[in-house]
Chains A and B, each alone.
Chain A
Amino acid sequence: MNQLAEENWDIEITPKNNLFSLGLKDVWQYRDLLVLLVRRDFVSFYKQTILGPIWFFVQPIITILIYNLVFNNLANIGTDKIPGPVFYLAGTILWNYFADCLTKTSTVFRDNAAMLGKVYFPRLIMPLSIVLSNLIRFAVQFILFVILMLVYHFNGSLIRPNIYILLFPLLIILIAALGLGLGMIISAVTTKYRDLAFVVSFGVPLLMYTTTVIYPLSAAIIKYPAYSWIIKFNPVTAIIETFRYGFLNKGSFSWELLAYSSCITVIILLTGIIIFNKVEKTFVDTV
């Protein structure tokens, strides 16, 4: 036999991955699976319900009604002269998207252990499918946001989107990447020792208060000038603020803050993928 052909192996299974091989080529080969998994999540969400996809609306609507009641009316926290519901919805849908990506990705190994323990496919597909299926959810809720904007607009409120609305796609990519990256880091760390999973379950809802979901950044700076850096330090803040600025023309926007957020996001995402790829090879033994 031809000696050269003999040594021409397609797959080599060895104890360790190259640290920086992200396996993106593999992911691309399995792109059909990615699409099917997203479809599965979406379809199975509303199977055997009467209202079907309408359920995607219910959660944010009730949330903003409560926020409006508690924070705006009861606690008297201002909303930058934007109608309360629109203000809260802008923050809520972005934050929910981030939080869903983060929490679901952080338990991806444990939730899918049965499947991942039986068959090989690029593990990165799993978190990516989470990000994409939540993106569909986000898109549906975003439609709700646009409807609400129009409703208030025709009722005489002053809602004027400006040119920064064009940053919207970037904001979505940033927030998805941030949730994905953090989630992957946590998922990798919790395969053997699950301690961090407890922190996630109560930490993520609390983390919301360090971003500008329920209050405008300007109000925080005025009230607590000494501590507002904590809020700015949170990379989600810049994303939410830019989103509000672009769509509602209110709020604080600065290129520096957005650039800072982007840098942090890229670092977190890369770290996440690297750690994730390192763990994926043996997590089955310890999860």
Chain B
Amino acid sequence: MSKVIKVENLSKAYQLGDFGTGTISRDLERFWARMRGKEDPFLKIGEVNDRTIKGGSDVVWSLKDINFEIEQGDAVGIIGRNGAGKSTLLKILSRVTSPTTGSVKVKGRIASLLEVGTGFHPELTGRENIYLNGAILGMRKAEIKRRFDEIVDFAGVERYIDTPVKRYSSGMYVRLAFGVAAHLESEILVVDEVLAVGDAEFQKKCLGKMSDVSKGEGRTILFVSHNMESILKLCKQGIYLEKGKLFSQSAAEKVVFEYISESDLPSTNQHTEDLNKHVKLLKYALTKTNYRMSENIEFCIELLSSSINKLSGLCILIYNIYETRVAIIDLRCEELVEISKKKGHLYLEGVMKNINLIPGSYTMGLYLNSELCSGDYLNILKIQISEDLQQSAFIQYPPEVRGVAFFNHTLTIK
């Protein structure tokens, strides 16, 4: 395998705040320093990019000393929280902006898809826009002509092809735009989270197309997404950025796993909802959203009914990402039923002990059976279960090979 991208000491500084009369004196100072061949005085005091903390300097390093290499034919997922520098990295790779220091070396053509439909002109027809957009993305006219039918077919907008795109539905617009991008003939494809739009079927189609591109045609893909599932599906390699620095680069599963273990953002551990007009779920909460495999999960549930509401069933339901139910935790007990006969307000706290689900993300729902309201209420909470690091140093089977639950066991070997 040969390397197609080599990133060396890549850094990018951004100036925060407003540009105005206040900034020109500093610009002159920097200019003067550069003229004398000295280091830029303002980059020296640049700070780590942490958007949550108010810093003393208004120059931040969006990327700082990034080094990595990418081999031909790899599909690489880039993950990290908002503001970790993912988009900046893609912008530099696609030559929209240039680094402050360091360099990127690339073999072959790069096509970047930071946004679908860049340069689409609303007044032009679908046909005209395919040509224009293709050319903006770096295709020659002959190339577009050759693949025109494929693009239209992929987008499924044949009937509208001679209608101005301003009359398109937003879904059709995106389909057409992605269709053009998907048929680029570049060696390297850089894709930002563009799949967030479009319906589920189309998203699947896009992912399928992208995986064809990388696996079938041996082209290299760099893919930024917050959706770990699509990263896992598409990518072999992963790059995890954290506050502008390279946190880790390794196999996609491992990087995604590290990311999930660190994160607590995309999951929800608290929820309020009106179940119907008589019953409110005031609180359904867990203490956190990330658990290790053998940890205990503390939960609390608070129900408020408009009048006395006799309860006959209450369960916590746990589903995995494939929407298969993996557990039912029955919370009924005599005391609970007795209280429910006396008042409309129920508050219960509990602990699920030693929850041995295999690593992955799960959603939690509630089954309720009462006089005023009954049914399954799904997808209320979302939690992440991660590997128990104390388990053993022994290499675990990857999650998809294992079953649903992990059973603690003892073993005697003679």
The residues in A between 255 and 287 inclusive whose CB is less than 8 angstroms from any CB of B are 281-282, 284-286
A121 to B6, CA, bound (A): 21
Q: Check: A9 CB closer than 8 A to any chain B CB.
A: yes
Are B103 and A12 in contact, with the CB atoms below 8 A? Answer: yes
Nearest CB in chain B: distance from A114 CB, A: 8
Q: Check: B67 CB closer than 8 A to any chain A CB.
A: no
Q: Check: A14 CB closer than 8 A to any chain B CB.
A: yes
Which residues on B sit within 8 Å (CB–CB) of A16?
A: 98
Render B78-117 as a binary contact track against A, CB cut-off 8 A, 1 for contact: 0000000000000111111111111111111110101100
Across the interface, name the chain A residue whose C-beta is closest to B105.
Answer: A9
Segment at the B interface, from A42-50, A58-66, A167-175: A42-50
Q: Check: B394 CB closer than 8 A to any chain A CB.
A: no
If A10-B108, A40-B124, A119-B118 are given as contacts, then 17 extra A-B residue pairs at C-beta distance below 8 Å, sorted by A number, are: A1-B1, A10-B106, A10-B107, A14-B99, A15-B101, A32-B140, A33-B136, A36-B141, A40-B121, A40-B132, A44-B124, A114-B118, A115-B119, A118-B96, A120-B96, A281-B98, A285-B97
The residues in A between 181 and 203 inclusive whose CB is less than 8 angstroms from any CB of B are 192-193
- Partner-A contacts on B (CB < 8 A): 1-3, 6, 14-15, 19, 24, 27, 91-110, 112, 114-115, 118-119, 121, 123-124, 128, 131-132, 135-141, 164
The residues in A between 103 and 150 inclusive whose CB is less than 8 angstroms from any CB of B are 114-121
Are A11 and B105 in contact, with the CB atoms below 8 A? Answer: yes
Q: Check: A155 CB closer than 8 A to any chain B CB.
A: no
Nearest CB in chain B: distance from A78 CB, A: 45
Across the interface, name the chain B residue whose C-beta is closest to A283.
Answer: B97
Q: Check: A226 CB closer than 8 A to any chain B CB.
A: no
Are B96 and A36 in contact, with the CB atoms below 8 A? Answer: no
Which residues on B sit within 8 Å (CB–CB) of A47?
A: 123-124, 164
Most buried by A among B3, B6, B105, B139: B105
Across the interface, name the chain B residue whose C-beta is closest to A8.
Answer: B107
Which residues on B sit within 8 Å (CB–CB) of A5?
A: 2
Q: 9 closest pairs, A vs B, by CB?
A: A120-B95, A33-B135, A13-B104, A281-B98, A9-B105, A11-B106, A32-B141, A44-B123, A118-B118
Which residues on A sit within 8 Å (CB–CB) of B93?
A: 13
Nearest CB in chain A: distance from B29 CB, A: 15
A154 to B19, CA, bound (A): 61
Nearest CB in chain A: distance from B268 CB, A: 32
Most buried by B among A114, A192, A285: A285
Nearest CB in chain B: distance from A281 CB, A: 4
Of the candidates B99, B132, B135, the one whose C-beta lies within 8 Å of that of A13 is B99
Which residues on A sit within 8 Å (CB–CB) of B102?
A: 15
Q: Check: A82 CB closer than 8 A to any chain B CB.
A: no
Of the candidates B1, B103, B114, the one whose C-beta lies within 8 Å of that of A118 is B114
Which residues on B sit within 8 Å (CB–CB) of A286?
A: 15, 19
A16 to B119, CA, bound (A): 26
Which residues on A sit within 8 Å (CB–CB) of B123?
A: 43-44, 47-48
What are 28 A-B residue pairs whose CB atoms fall within 8 Å in the complex? A8-B107, A9-B6, A9-B107, A10-B106, A10-B109, A11-B107, A11-B110, A12-B104, A12-B106, A13-B93, A15-B100, A15-B103, A30-B135, A32-B140, A32-B141, A33-B135, A33-B136, A36-B135, A40-B124, A43-B123, A44-B121, A118-B115, A119-B96, A119-B118, A119-B137, A121-B136, A282-B98, A284-B91
Are B96 and A12 in contact, with the CB atoms below 8 A? Answer: no
Nearest CB in chain B: distance from A71 CB, A: 37
With A6-B2, A9-B107, A37-B132 as known contacts, state yes or no: A15 contacts B98, CB within 8 Å. yes
Nearest CB in chain A: distance from B332 CB, A: 56
Across the interface, name the chain B residue whose C-beta is closest to A17.
Answer: B98
Are A32 and B135 in contact, with the CB atoms below 8 A? Answer: yes
With A40-B124, A40-B128, A285-B14 as known contacts, state yes or no: A119 contacts B136, CB within 8 Å. yes
Across the interface, name the chain A residue whose C-beta is closest to B88.
Answer: A285
With A115-B118, A120-B94 as known contacts, state yes or no: A9 contacts B24, CB within 8 Å. no
Nearest CB in chain B: distance from A1 CB, A: 6
Which residues on B sit within 8 Å (CB–CB) of A15?
A: 98-103
Which residues on B sit within 8 Å (CB–CB) of A120?
A: 94-96, 110, 112, 138
Across the interface, name the chain A residue whose C-beta is closest to B139.
Answer: A32
Which residues on A sit within 8 Å (CB–CB) of B112?
A: 118-120
With A5-B2, A6-B3, A37-B132 as known contacts, state yes or no: A13 contacts B96, CB within 8 Å. no
Which residues on B sit within 8 Å (CB–CB) of A119?
A: 94, 96, 112, 114-115, 118-119, 136-137
Across the interface, name the chain A residue whose C-beta is closest to B117.
Answer: A118
Nearest CB in chain B: distance from A21 CB, A: 14
Which residues on A sit within 8 Å (CB–CB) of B15?
A: 285-286
A6 to B4, CA, bound (A): 8
Nearest CB in chain B: distance from A178 CB, A: 28
